[in-house]
Amino acid sequence: MKRLQIAWLMLAGAVAPFMAYAELPSYELSLRDGHFTPAQLEVPAGQRFKIILKNIGQGPAEFESTPLRVEKVLSPGVTTFVVIHPLRPGHYPFFDEFNPQLPEGGILAK
């Protein structure tokens, strides 16, 4: 019985940080050959949130933002996420470094 309790506590400790991410407000962002859909995300200022990134294109894609200090490279067909710290009101651009000639996307914190 004691081993089962220890195993449960270990599992609960390992899962707890991931559950915290699951509870964050989430926004989906699709990447296809350098294009972002939607091109702009509106989020509440002062609140941590998660962006679910989906590369639906045929080649690699990158979600990168210099002001947010975030960079995530995705292979074709990959879905992943990034957690963004609470933002002050304002506009925060992001781009795909594999396609620098295409327009940037952005996050608008209100």
Every domain of the chain and the residues it spans = 25-109
User: Is domain 25-109 in CATH 1.10.1200.10, yes or no?
Assistant: no
Instruction: Place 41 in a pLDDT band, splitting at 50, 70 and 90.
Output: very high
Mean pLDDT of 96-107: 92
Could you write out the three-class secondary structure of the chain? CHHHHHHHHHHHHHHHHHHHHHCCCEEEEEEECCEEECCEEEECCCCCEEEEEEECCCCCEEEEECCCCEEEEECCCCEEEEEECCCCCEEEEEECCCCCCCCCEEEEEC
Given a cut of 70, is residue 22 above it in pLDDT? no
Mean pLDDT of 78-93: 97
Instruction: Place 23 in a pLDDT band, splitting at 50, 70 and 90.
Output: confident
Residue 38's pLDDT is 97
